[in-house]
Amino acid sequence: MSKGIIKTAIATFFLTVSAGLYGQDALQQASSEADRKLESALARLADSREAIGKEKIPLTAKRDALFDELQTLRREADRAQRLSDNQSADLSSMEANLAAQGEMVDYLINLSAEFGRTLGAQLDPSEASFYADRISASEAAVEDPYIKPLVQLGPQKAILAAGLDRMESLSGGATYPGSAITEGGLLEEGSFLRFGPVTFFASESGKAGLVRQGQSLEPTAIPLAKGAFDANIAAVAQGETAALPLDATLNNALAIAATRQSLLEHIGKGGIWIYPILGFALLSLVVAAFKAFEIMTLPKPKDGLLAEVLSKLSDKKKEDAIKLANGADGPMGKMIQQGVRYSDHDPELVEEILYESMVETQPKVMRLLPFISVTAAVAPLLGLLGTVTGMINTFNRIKIFGTGDAKSLSGGISEALITTEFGLIVAIPSLLLYAILSRKAKGYLARMEKMSISFINGIKTIA
């Protein structure tokens, strides 16, 4: 067994030596191949460096040229950017100026249109026909959204020129032809005479008056002082000299005079509830007059009659006392007669008889007075009812016509206020009349009561 091991070891040794020798040869061959490749690479590197050296100069020159071109392009780009920015700024400024000019044009258009509306509101009725077309054109130009602003300026310039011409023509007064509605409702041709806010009209037929706006679109000539100034107005209109009437209140006095109305017209505007109020007022007045006459004419015994009657009774002259008592009329006389007739009875019975006479007299003296009191209470309530009815009518008209037309609302407002006015007018005097007449009636009853007490005290003394 050891021999086999030895043989194996020897074989292994020889194999190892042989492999080492073979690897050393391969390493030498590889080293030689690497050297050869290195020399070849160095040669190629040298060739490349030589080629690069030859190409570097033109490339550097080309690079410098491109760099210079780039700088030139950058400067041109900066200059172009600055020009673009300047142009944008100029464009923005132009747009802002254009917008400002447009706003100014719109403002001028609206201001001119407002001037036209103001001019139309301030025109005298006699001037309306001269300026109506230009005012309408001015308003139509503003309201039309399809008209260019410069085109809209045309009618506004025309209305401004018309206003200036009007100022120039009216300075110092003006006379111009036209037509107006004269007294009698006739539309007549003639001449207008304008002095500031006052305008007169003289027709060809000789009628004249102060010009006011009537119910129609045509001016109305209101006669002054029943035609006393017609000749003077016509003379001045023809260029002559004459005295003209001028209202220092700028026609406000005439406006106030035009609103004046008669009592019947005033009552007629109160509506249906004014008539019950007036009915109560009339009845209350009649009752008050009747009661005043009745109370004032109630018979009153002469002074000292009661003392004479008691003196006769004291002297046991009852028949004479009855004759004296029968000479007195009215409730007081009747009461004395009753007292004398039963004077010989118990004083308490006499007192009851006298009290019965007073109770019987009281309704006669106080009758119909409560009606006056009822009138004083009912009249304001009827006025309030008329106020409610008038306000309901007013609200109904507002629902139909709106609040722009004051004339359509005046009827309901008049009914609302006039009924309250007359209700108070009726109630206050009725209340005063009731207080006065009631005091008079109670005074008469108090005098009866005093006389009855005096009579009872007298017969008690006699007894």
State the Cα angle at 338 between 334 and 339, rounded to 5°. Answer: 115
Domain-located, residue 106? no
Residue-level pLDDT at 104:
83
Residue-level pLDDT at 372:
92
Give CA separation, 452 vs 267, 302, 439, in Å: 51, 15, 20
Give CA separation, 183 vs 56, 210, 246, 308, in Å: 119, 11, 20, 80
Domain-located, residue 66? no
Residue with tokens 């050869």, as numbered in its chain:
36
From CA 111, how far away is CA 165, in angstroms rounded? 18
- For residue 403, pLDDT beyond 70: no
Task: Clarify whether residues 192 and 326 are in a common domain.
Answer: no
pLDDT band, very low/low/confident/very high, at 255 (cuts 50, 70, 90): low
Residue-level pLDDT at 10:
66
Q: Which residue has the higher pLDDT, 37 or 406?
A: 37
- For residue 392, pLDDT beyond 90: no
For 124-139, what is each residue's pLDDT tens digit? 777 777 777 888 888 8
pLDDT band, very low/low/confident/very high, at 284 (cuts 50, 70, 90): very high
Taken in order 433, 434, 437, 439, is the CA torsion positive or negative?
negative
Domain-located, residue 444? yes
Residues 56-69 have a mean pLDDT of 82
Residues with Cβ < 8 Å from 337, sequence gap 6 or more? Answer: 322, 325, 326, 328
pLDDT band, very low/low/confident/very high, at 7 (cuts 50, 70, 90): low
Domain-located, residue 31? no
Domain-located, residue 259? no
Task: Clarify whether residues 321 and 440 are in a common domain.
Answer: yes
Asked which of 204-208, 412-416, 432-436 is least confident by mean pLDDT, the reply is 412-416
Domain-located, residue 384? yes
Residue-level pLDDT at 339:
83
Task: Clarify whether residues 236 and 283 are in a common domain.
Answer: no
- For residue 19, pLDDT beyond 60: no
User: How many C-beta atoms surround the C-beta of residue 376 within 10 A?
Assistant: 21
Q: How many domains is the chain built from?
A: 2
Question: Across the chain, what does the average pLDDT equal?
Answer: 80
Phi/psi of residue 217, nearest 5 degrees: -75, -15
Residues 378-404 have a mean pLDDT of 80
Residues with Cβ < 8 Å from 394, sequence gap 6 or more? Answer: 409, 412, 413, 416
Residue-level pLDDT at 411:
58
From CA 281, how far away is CA 423, in angstroms rounded? 9
Domain that holds residue 176: 122-248
- For residue 292, pLDDT beyond 70: yes
pLDDT band, very low/low/confident/very high, at 427 (cuts 50, 70, 90): very high
For 147-164, what is each residue's pLDDT tens digit? 777 777 788 888 888 888
Residues with Cβ < 8 Å from 243, sequence gap 6 or more? Answer: 232
Task: Clarify whether residues 152 and 241 are in a common domain.
Answer: yes
Task: Clarify whether residues 234 and 365 are in a common domain.
Answer: no
From CA 299, how far away is CA 410, in angstroms rounded? 55
Q: Which residue among 248, 264, 282 closes a domain? A: 248
- For residue 2, pLDDT beyond 60: no
Residue-level pLDDT at 12:
66
Q: Which residue among 203, 233, 248 closes a domain? A: 248
Task: Clarify whether residues 288 and 395 are in a common domain.
Answer: yes
User: Exposure of 49 by Cβ count < 10 A (0-12 exposed, 13-18 middle, 19+ buried)?
Assistant: exposed
Residue-level pLDDT at 322:
83
From CA 339, how far away is CA 221, in angstroms rounded? 82
Residues 197-215 have a mean pLDDT of 77
Residue-level pLDDT at 63:
83
Task: Clarify whether residues 144 and 285 are in a common domain.
Answer: no
Find how far residue 409's CA is from the centre of its chain. 14
Residue-level pLDDT at 150:
73
Three-state DSSP class for residue 147: coil
- For residue 97, pLDDT beyond 90: no
Residue with tokens 């100069």, as numbered in its chain:
57
Task: Clarify whether residues 237 and 310 are in a common domain.
Answer: no
Six token digits for residue 181 = 């509605």
For the chain, what percent of residues have pLDDT higher than 90?
Answer: 12
For the chain, what percent of residues have pLDDT higher than 70?
Answer: 86
Task: Clarify whether residues 301 and 447 are in a common domain.
Answer: yes
Residue-level pLDDT at 287:
93
Amino acid at 111: L
Domain-located, residue 447? yes
pLDDT band, very low/low/confident/very high, at 306 (cuts 50, 70, 90): confident
pLDDT band, very low/low/confident/very high, at 401 (cuts 50, 70, 90): low
Domain-located, residue 425? yes
Task: Clarify whether residues 455 and 321 are in a common domain.
Answer: yes
Residue-level pLDDT at 23:
59
Task: Clarify whether residues 136 and 240 are in a common domain.
Answer: yes
User: How many C-beta atoms surround the C-beta of residue 267 within 10 A?
Assistant: 16
pLDDT band, very low/low/confident/very high, at 293 (cuts 50, 70, 90): very high
Q: Which of 219, 203, 251, 247 is nearest to 211 (CA)?
A: 219
Phi/psi of residue 140, nearest 5 degrees: -65, -35
Residue-level pLDDT at 257:
62
State the Cα angle at 406 between 401 and 409, rounded to 5°. Answer: 65
Task: Clarify whether residues 334 and 455 are in a common domain.
Answer: yes
